[in-house]
Amino acid sequence: MDLQEKVRVAAEAVKHADAIVMTAGAGMGVDSGLPDFRGDTGFWKAYPPYQKLGITFVGAANPDHFERDPSFGWGFYGHRTNLYRATVPHAGFDILREWVQRYGLDYFVVTSNVDGQFQKAGFADDRILEVHGSIHHLQCTTPCTMAIWENRETIPVDEATMRAGHVPRCIHCGAVARPNILMFGDYGWVSDRSARQQRNFDEFLADTRGGRLVVVEMGAGTAIPTIRYLTEELGSRSEALAVRINPREPQIRAPHLSLPCGAREGVAAINAVLAEESP
């Protein structure tokens, strides 16, 4: 099956589906101008000061920094907070939302990204599962309680040193606060918010069982394959078709579809076929 035929099959699946699950990894944000931290070189290209320090993405995304050197820990996450707040979701998000409305699809978003771009693009908060948490929410480093609160902090960052000029504090005990994100080697993450989202997703899956399901995966790589595994698991349901959109690692077993392109390009190509067939 050539690429254009795959796109047409994907378009038919969207058109005739009862429900859609949109799964997304770091590549989803690339078309919005966000870095995907692919490999040490990709991370250092986005954050040159860490290359001089010999710190990789795994080393930077480490909860120990918030205990040993909070200004340094918040340098990385403060910069990302500011970046994600300023980022405008690309046109692919709008296309996905239009499909939901045009075809009356029940839907859910499952993402490993912590950037909040799906919420910013207008997707309902109770229809999103952020498996690794959200940078737009905070928790205590201790943690003194299981409380999670919205990140309203202003965090200036010196990009030459990647140190934060302000360190957020716990609203309950005054200890250092941290993003409510699952980091590497993280035993202090408060998972309650993501667990509530997971329960919503489980209910969605129960309610849509037996119906025609299309899964559209965008920008999910193999380095941390959580999203890819989920896509394949959902694709194993009867009456389900998975579409994997990925410029470098698009492979997926038939009858599911692989589109070797970026997220925005892939959903735009499917949308172009749908537009041709519209009355």
In this structure, the chain runs to a length of 279
User: Which residues make beta-bridge pairs with 257?
Assistant: 243
Distance in Å from the first CA to the final CA of the chain: 27
Q: Is the pTM of this model over 0.85?
A: yes
| Nearest alpha carbon to residue 109 among 190, 14, 204, 195 | 204
Residues 73-101 as b or e (16 or more Cβ within 10 Å = b)? bbbbbbbbbebbeebebbebbebbbebbe
| Nearest alpha carbon to residue 11 among 272, 247, 265, 238 | 272
pLDDT digits (tens, 9 = 90+) for 85-130: 999 999 999 999 999 999 999 999 999 999 999 999 999 999 999 9
Angle (CA) 182 177 71, round 5°:
95
Q: 3-277 maps to which CATH number?
A: 3.40.50.1220
| 10-residue mean pLDDT series, the chain (279 residues) | 94 98 96 83 87 91 96 96 97 98 98 97 98 98 97 96 97 98 96 98 97 97 93 96 96 96 97 85
What whole-number percentage of the chain has pLDDT above 90? Answer: 90
Ranges assigned E (strand) in 145-270: 149-150, 157-158, 163-164, 177-181, 213-218, 240-245, 257-259
- E strand or H helix at 134, and its extent? strand 133-140
Amino acid 236: pLDDT:
95
pLDDT digits (tens, 9 = 90+) for 184-211: 999 999 999 999 999 999 999 999 999 9
Amino acid 278: pLDDT:
62
> Helices marked H in 69-191 — which ranges?
70-86, 91-103, 117-120
